[in-house]
Structure formats: C-alpha cells, structure tokens
Amino acid sequence: MEEYAREPCPWRIVDDCGGAFTMGVIGGGVFQAIKGFRNAPVGIRHRFRGSVNAV
C-alpha cells in the first residue's frame, strides 16, 4: 500500500531528490576512494594519498 501521510508535491519530490543526491555522493565517494587506492603506487602512504586525491 502507498503511504498517504506524506506531504504532497512539489516538496516531496525535492526531498526525494535530496536523498538520492546524498546517496549518490556517498556511494560515488566510496567508489572513487577504492578506485584511487587500487591504482596508486605500492605503499600505504602512496595508496592513502591516491585514495584522497581520487575523491
């Protein structure tokens, strides 16, 4: 069943877009950090720097 207790449009759409944007930023940041960590030169210092630089 659908939930009818929420606010009507357009604020509901704006709230949903804000939540989707936040999830995308967090997910994209994690993905880019892992990608930068894996592609950096050997050594924890270089890998951490590559991870931060990729984000």
Q: What are the residue boundaries of the structural domains of the chain, listed by start?
A: 25-55
pLDDT given for residue 7 in this prediction: 67
Burial 6-27 (b: 16+ CB within 10 A, else e): eeeeeeeeeeeeeeeeeeeeee
pLDDT given for residue 18 in this prediction: 86
Helix (H, G, I), strand (E, B) or coil at 31: helix
Structural tokens at position 45: 């210092």
The Cα 12–Cα 15 span in angstroms is 5
Q: Please give the model's pTM, rounded to 2 decimal places.
A: 0.65
The Cα 32–Cα 50 span in angstroms is 10
Q: What is the pLDDT along the chain (55 residues), one digit of tens a residue?
A: 566 676 677 778 888 888 899 999 999 999 998 888 888 888 888 888 888 888 7
